[in-house]
Amino acid sequence: MANQSIQYYSMVPLLKAAELSFLDGKPAAIGAFNVNFFTQAQGILEGLRRANAPGIIQASKGANKFQGGPDKIAAMVLGAMEKSSHELPVALHLDHGDDEKAHECVDSGYSSVMIDASALDFQDNMKLTGKIVDYAHSRGVSVEGEYGKLAGIEEDVIHETTTYADPFLVPHFFNETNADALAVAYGTSHGPNKGTGMDKLAVHIVERSYKGMTAYGQNEDHFLVSHGSSTVPQDIVAEINQYGGGVEGAAGIPIEKIQQAVKAGIRKINIDTDLRLGITATFRKYFVDHPGIADGSPDVLQPIKRVLDEKPEAIDPRDYLKVIDVGQLRSDPAGTDLEEVMVLVKERIANHVEMLVHKFGCAGLADKVERIPLDEMARRYG
């Protein structure tokens, strides 16, 4: 029988706990970590457990497609929680969804969704975001919008340059849409090649946006989000290249700038590339440390190794894991050819997540989160 205390929560009480911590003089933001397969979820959960931190696990449109649909992701992450008896507050969030995918994820068990309508003009962005809010809130599901455009590539969305958010319009966006969270463009960037100048992020945009929200009394139930915030550790990039990779020009956001943004008002930090790099480094090192092991696994390890050998630039695990039966990635790999390498993957992710949530200030906040079931959230939304 399933443990009834293991369930998904809206991200609102998690982000509110971070905001109340900030108001108490302890700046905090909740880490939001992207997921593609079971062991990746396990690693995230273990890192959160070690730090006693609430957390957001999120899946992009690409991740949902990779695993065969959002219902598969929702069941997979819940299975990972049940496997580890994880009872700390966790939200399952759609990252960078469109209208269709947001509706599908609400219906498939997600507790939070993002509608990225930032490519539309401001009024149409608010209109579409508001429609998703109405649908999701009636089911207790939280909603994140996006305002401004981040440079870089996120799934199938490509922006050559950043269009900054106007801080004076942020409270208006919240007022018109009733979205719970808003990703504001302030100079961060998607992907592993964030370029130079990341030490000169326009953190003042976050600060002014937050001050406006506070002036309108929005700050305890509406929250600012930082996308494209992976730190891209250079030691992991070097490890990838040491073991056969060819990652060039990789640069991330300095952790000090993320912490400045948290102090300015950011309450959710999105991390994806860091985990991709760590997983890739682990697989590459594993194959070098275990010469010939792939030969004994023609249906699993051998095709994975072949892709890594042929594509030294690959950092997205989906690129080299899609060549096997993806269904086996949705469950515990114990007893399979993937068990040994996935043990290493889990530990790598757990260590990085634990480190980041301490840096974000949300370690120890799990006990401060109000446990509000989704049906109660729906009633509160009214």
Write down the pTM of the prediction. Answer: 0.94
Summarised one tens digit per residue, pLDDT across range 262-315 is: 999 999 999 999 999 999 999 999 999 999 999 999 999 999 999 999 999 999
pLDDT band of 342, cuts 50, 70, 90: very high
Please state, as a whole number, how many other Cβ atoms lie within 10 Å of the Cβ of residue 82.
12
Length of the chain: 382
CATH architecture entry for 11-236+244-272+357-381: Alpha-Beta Barrel (3.20)
Out of 42-51, 245-254, 262-271, 277-286, least confident range: 245-254
Buried b (16+ CB within 10 A) or exposed e, 167-204: bebbbebbebbbbbbbbbbbbbbbbbbbeeebeebbbe
Summarised one tens digit per residue, pLDDT across range 86-105 is: 999 999 999 999 999 999 99
- Chain mean pLDDT for the chain: 93
Residue 251's DSSP bridge partners are 193
**C-beta separation of 148 from 196 below 8 A:** no
Summarised one tens digit per residue, pLDDT across range 187-234 is: 765 455 544 444 457 899 999 999 999 999 999 999 999 988 899 999
Pick the catalytic residue: 71, 95, 235, 316?
Answer: 95
Note the pLDDT of residue 365: 98
Q: Which residue has the higher pLDDT, 29 or 149?
A: 29
Domain positions in the chain are 11-236+244-272+357-381
Is-catalytic flag, 95?
yes
Checking if the pLDDT of 354 tops 70, the result is yes
**C-beta separation of 149 from 119 below 8 A:** yes
Checking if the pLDDT of 159 tops 90, the result is no
